[in-house]
Amino acid sequence: MRKTSLLIVALFVTAFLFTLPASQANSPAKTVTYTKDVAPILFKNCAQCHRPDDIAPFSVLSFKDVRPWAKSIKEQVVKREMPPWHADPHYGKFENEARLSQTDIDTIAAWVDSGAKEGNAKDLPRMPNAATDWEIGKPDVVLTMPKEYELPAKGADDYLYFRVPTGFTEDKWIQASEFRPGNRKVVHHAVVFLETPLMYRMALDNAKKNGWDTKDPISVFQSEDGNDPDMYRDGTVSRVKMDAPVNNDPCANKNFGNGGGSMGLLSAYAPGRNADTYPAGMAKRIPAGSNLIFQMHYAKTTGKPEKDRTSMALSFAKEPVTKSVQTMLIVNEMFLIPAGAENHQANACVNFRNDVELVNYMPHMHVRGKAMKYELIHPDGKTETLIDVPRYNFNWQTLYKLQAPLNVAKGSRLKVTGWFDNSAKNKLNPDPTKVVRFGEPTYDEMLVGFVDFARPRPAERVIAKVAPEKLDLLVGDYSLGLGKFKVEREGAMLWLSLPGQPTFPAYPESETRFFVREIEGSVITFVKNEQGEVIELQAEFQGRKLTAKRAGKQATASGNQ
């Protein structure tokens, strides 16, 4: 019986095989070619950098350029070194995840193993967009450095600042922005700050006070005055002093959460970083009359004189904006990395005082940077890993864009932890025998966690038209304890100042109620007595209330322009 059953099965299998088409019964291995199989993968995932005259060592746009690198390409994709994507896939979902599928990896490996053949030119897919095209599409405006900057052949790194007027006569909401270096060989990285009219006035007042250039005053983003006792200037860069206090673990203090600040940051650039794009309904605001401050980090890497003239492209929001996006830097400037340390750890924290939505992350360290992790500590104490980058790469700094904004409750705490390799095992380490502190040049270190977050757009406040003679009645000094508010008029607004503090503009909502545009929720009220004379100034800034009594008699209305 057993033999009969086996015979039936054998006959069935034999009959099945003989009924298969010849192509299936004896199918030859598929020929994998560059033009038909590999080029579509490379064009989609690699051509952003691997194109002529870009930052990658070769172009993937032609078989002639790819063929000499075939074995290296296989090695890099099999190890998942390329395309660069350094985040652990177990944490966070990102819309720009640059990880090849296993099928794509197998295709490239099979192509190389079979001799890396070219194939039929007719199978080549359409070429990717030209390098001159913008990632964000056609921008609404492109703002460029006022003139070309010339770099000498040799020397230390430079941090230089360039003021670029926007020329905006009304507020603009920015849906997308893209930074384009004029010379990628020397632009190490860059940051674009937003200088509002208030910030420009602060720079101008400071220049007048110190006898500096008032035609192009030093911006508030530059640290020329050396007010920080823990920092010093070394040429054009700022560095932490070796004997400054050390704090590798500020997050150990649960009440400490001031390691974050935005300083009006609009965008940033580093090799590998994508353009800034925001979900529908979210955008960054540029107030009318603002300037952009380009902070350029130049590295003289080519050994010959170079030139650069960098640009920033902006696309305006086309749909109603309901949420305002801001960039936060979570920073520790006081860490110290011992000489030879292979896995030194330091952190920084920030506490959220409002409900927010997180939009993207960008870890930033220098060449000793080894790994970085973002963790969210919820109000109930639960800790959630937002992103883990176990293989940080200074030469490829990714902007990790969340697939969907992440809601964060008021009272939460964001902790950024960085690990550094200052040992001889680190091939990029300039000198493993040196103790390392925070500093702007590449041979120092940084611990910065960039975060974009969104909040409900503040209600628009309407600026009232108030006659100059009415504003003149408010001009004068107002006593505030040991100091005085000084109120002056320029044009159709008031300017307020305290001794040693910057002057800021106050816009009228009525004849006696004003606000500062740069300070959300600010209210300045001038109180009158029964005779209609102004006797008091009341101000509220971010929950802090101040009252100042008028000093001296009320000014006489002049109406002068």
Q: What is the CATH number of the domain that holds 189?
A: 2.60.120
- Residue 25, pLDDT score: 43
Domain boundary among 73, 97, 123: 123
**Residue 399 sits in the same domain as residue 371:** yes
Residue 559 located in a structural domain: no
**Average pLDDT, stretch 165-185?**
93
- Residue 502, pLDDT score: 75
**Residue 238 sits in the same domain as residue 376:** yes
Least confident of 175-189, 227-241, 254-268, 323-337: 254-268
Residue 10 located in a structural domain: no
**Residue 48 sits in the same domain as residue 69:** yes
Residue 442 located in a structural domain: yes
Domain residues for 274?
134-221+263-321
Buried b / exposed e across 64-94, counting CB within 10 Å, b at 16+? eebeebbeebbeebeeeebbbbbbeeebbeb
pLDDT over 60 at 398, yes or no: yes
Which ranges in 187-292 belong to alpha helices (H)?
Answer: 197-210
Distances (CA, A) of 145 to 181, 454, 475: 10, 29, 39
Query: What whole-number distance in Å separates Cα of residue 220 and Cα of residue 89?
Result: 40
**Residue 191 sits in the same domain as residue 251:** no
Could you tell me if 192 and 312 are in contact, meaning their C-beta atoms sit under 8 angstroms apart? yes
Average per-residue pLDDT for the chain: 87
Confidence band of 11 (pLDDT split at 50, 70, 90): very low
Comparing 257 with 72, the larger pLDDT belongs to 72
pLDDT digit string (tens) for 441-499? 889 999 999 999 999 998 888 999 999 999 999 999 999 877 788 999 988 889 998 77
- Residue 314, pLDDT score: 97
**Average pLDDT, stretch 249-264?**
74
**Residue 182 sits in the same domain as residue 241:** no
Total-model pTM: 0.82
- Residue 12, pLDDT score: 38
**Residue 23 sits in the same domain as residue 111:** yes
Distance of CA 193 to the CA centre of its chain: 10
Confidence band of 544 (pLDDT split at 50, 70, 90): confident
pLDDT digit string (tens) for 402-445? 999 999 999 999 999 999 999 999 999 999 999 999 998 889 99
Name the most confidently modeled range: 120-129, 246-255, 306-315, 484-493: 306-315
Residue 407 located in a structural domain: yes
- Residue 447, pLDDT score: 97
**Residue 305 sits in the same domain as residue 330:** no
Residue 385 located in a structural domain: yes
**Residue 258 sits in the same domain as residue 195:** no
**By percentage, how much of the chain surpasses pLDDT 70?**
90
Residue 2 located in a structural domain: no
Least confident of 2-6, 191-195, 411-415, 518-522: 2-6
**Residue 344 sits in the same domain as residue 253:** yes
Least confident of 160-164, 251-255, 392-396: 251-255
Confidence band of 259 (pLDDT split at 50, 70, 90): low
**Residue 79 sits in the same domain as residue 35:** yes
Confidence band of 193 (pLDDT split at 50, 70, 90): very high
pLDDT over 70 at 106, yes or no: yes
Q: What do you get for the CA distance between the two ends of the chain, in Å?
A: 115
